[in-house]
Structure 1
Amino acid sequence: MNVAADQYAVMGNPIGHSKSPAIHAMFAKQTGEKLRYEALLVPTEEFSEAVEQFYSNKGLGLNITVPFKQDAWNKAERMTDRARRAGAVNTLWKDETGALWGDTTDGVGLVRDITVNHKVDIEGRRVLVLGAGGAVRGVLESILEKNPSAVVVANRTVSRAEELVKLFGELGNISACGFSEAEGPFDLIINGTSASLQGECPPLPQTAINQQTTVYDMMYGVEETVFNRWARERGAQTVIDGLGMLVEQAAESFSIWRNKRPETAQVIAKFRGE
């Protein structure tokens, strides 16, 4: 007798570019888990209804991407502390009582990629984080948990960076400034702006980057990102894009749903080779 595969999906708009179905198919094959994972295009005004319909059709877990992460935060009945502080949810599931839980796995994905895959220490290091939007808010707690000596959040609008300092200040040494005030050198620079998509880079001082600086762009693409190329031209020897973060945050979601942590190295290598 054929047992029906457990149903999972990612919801977003747009969604056609999503690598999540391929990533989770590889995780399922690797771990022997019987599941089906699809990408669902959801009209922007119909997110809540789409979630309810998914679960009424015996769906078990959802990933949420742009532009619905805040809607998912509002929809969740219970959530992890890291999701509550991030103000965004990218992973949904129901517990045995039927309550809808929310979590964010982006920060764990980022930190695992930096520290495990690339063997770059965060503890005791001076970290510059660029941007103050949802992408940065979603990862700051995980960065601060690694005990850097200092985290500086730089943003074009300084008041938005200062809001994040208030929100995360109790977790570690964190401060805010404008891009041009981010005096270095820094051990690690993480770009959480959309600069690479727009083909422009934040106006950082020349001192921010030296040969020892590791530069991480949360964006990724077939070509080297604009930000990473810019950093390399300014002397950075180690530049990393966000492909590994994408796979690692998916692995964290998978382990929440299935209680098994898949190996990520071969999955990252496959997408890197495409």
Structure 2
Amino acid sequence: MSDVPLYAVFGNPIAHSRSPQIHSGFAEQLGDAVRYDARLAPVDDFQGGWRAFVSEGGRGANVTVPFKQQAAVLADQLSDRARQAGAVNTLMVGDSGEVIGDNTDGAGLLLDLKRLEAPLADARILVLGAGGAVRGVLGPLLATGPSELVVANRTVEKATALAELFDAMGHIRGCGFEAIEGTFDLVINATSASLAGALPPLPEILFNEGALAYDMMYGATPTVFLQWAQRHGVRCVDGLGMLVGQAAESWYLWRGTRPDTTPVLEALRADLR
């Protein structure tokens, strides 16, 4: 067993993951020697993969598709934000060997939005989609004190159920795409439509002056949603900064230090180009 602390990202598939590059960048920046692997776990045996990792001396891991719910079941303890999200993207081994599950997606999004000086407090925020990624970010978004947060989804029931789940935290409501009303200061696309090159059915008048359009997906070229938003003359940003931000939060949980996300984000962006 090596003295170098061992971390990893688990997923299936996993070869595409940027996490090893991100965490290597953090380690170099902070002068902290760690080993970080990408691990392909069997779809039907995530727990076995995790146990093998821990037996090698693994101290913590990021968890991506399709294992976030399985990671929540595996954990002996869940943070408040992991319970709120209903999913775990960060695991760590505690001092007594217990497995602790956390979710850093919302923190990663907020870190990036604050870097961008996005409108948050007293803003009208629209979130497109009602999947697991949305559930993980609604709590942190509501904690910034928007005047209203609207969750819009193709399946209305999913949007309204999510809104009801977070109703105690602030002004939030769910609706279908066709029921979106008014204009917004921040519009976040969290639908999978970007992956398919599709655009949710959105009203032509959607943005306030000075609004920000944010897509959780990222790529070498703007997503269809961001291309549409650009035609409406608003500032447009993809989700690469969220990816780096959630990784930085995981690093902090494991190592107790906070990396500067900017140089790592710039290096990733250059690679994408």
Between the aligned partners of 2:76 and 2:217, the Cα distance in structure 1 is 30
Give the drift of 1:236: 3.7
Aligned residue in 2 for 1:204: 202
Between the aligned partners of 2:40 and 2:173, the Cα distance in structure 1 is 38
Give the drift of 1:184: 2.2
Q: Which amino acid aligns with 2:131?
A: G
Between the aligned partners of 2:145 and 2:104, the Cα distance in structure 1 is 19
Indicate whether 1:270 and 2:267 are aligned.
yes
Matches within 5 A, 1:27-176: 27-115=26-114, 117-176=115-174
Q: Which amino acid aligns with 2:78?
A: M
Q: Which amino acid aligns with 2:45?
A: E
Decide whether the 8 Å contact of 1:195 with 1:202 is kept in 2: yes
Aligned residue in 2 for 1:241: 238
Q: Which amino acid aligns with 1:128?
A: L
Give the drift of 1:207: 2.2
Which secondary structure state, in structure 1, belongs to the residue aligned with residue 266 of structure 2?
Answer: helix
Give the drift of 1:211: 4.2
Give the drift of 1:96: 1.1
Give the drift of 1:103: 0.5
Between the aligned partners of 1:250 and 1:195, the Cα distance in structure 2 is 24
Aligned residue in 2 for 1:251: 248
Q: Which amino acid aligns with 2:13?
A: P
Normalised by the size of structure 2, how large is the TM-score?
0.96
Match of 2:213 among 199, 215, 225: 215
Between the aligned partners of 1:269 and 1:178, the Cα distance in structure 2 is 36
Indicate whether 1:227 and 2:225 are aligned.
yes
Aligned sequence identity (%): 51
1:168-218 deviation per Cα after TM superposition (whole angstroms, max 9, x unaligned): 111111001101111121000001101111111111112223443210000
Between the aligned partners of 1:213 and 1:139, the Cα distance in structure 2 is 19
Give the drift of 1:4: 2.6
Q: Which amino acid aligns with 2:178?
A: S
Which secondary structure state, in structure 2, belongs to the residue aligned with residue 139 of structure 1?
Answer: helix
1:113-154 deviation per Cα after TM superposition (whole angstroms, max 9, x unaligned): 011x21113010000000000011111111111111100000
Q: Which amino acid aligns with 2:226?
A: N
Matches within 5 A, 1:180-199: 180-199=178-197
Decide whether the 8 Å contact of 1:213 with 1:236 is kept in 2: no
* Structure 2 alignment gaps of length 5 or more: none
Between the aligned partners of 1:99 and 1:58, the Cα distance in structure 2 is 14
Decide whether the 8 Å contact of 2:126 with 2:186 is kept in 1: yes
**Range 175-184 or range 123-132, more displaced:** 175-184
Decide whether the 8 Å contact of 2:185 with 2:209 is kept in 1: no
Give the drift of 1:5: 1.2
Runs of 4+ in 1 over 4 A off after TM superposition: none
Between the aligned partners of 2:209 and 2:146, the Cα distance in structure 1 is 19
Between the aligned partners of 2:207 and 2:66, the Cα distance in structure 1 is 32
Which secondary structure state, in structure 2, belongs to the residue aligned with residue 255 of structure 1?
Answer: helix
* Structure 1 alignment gaps of length 5 or more: none
**Range 258-267 or range 205-214, more displaced:** 205-214
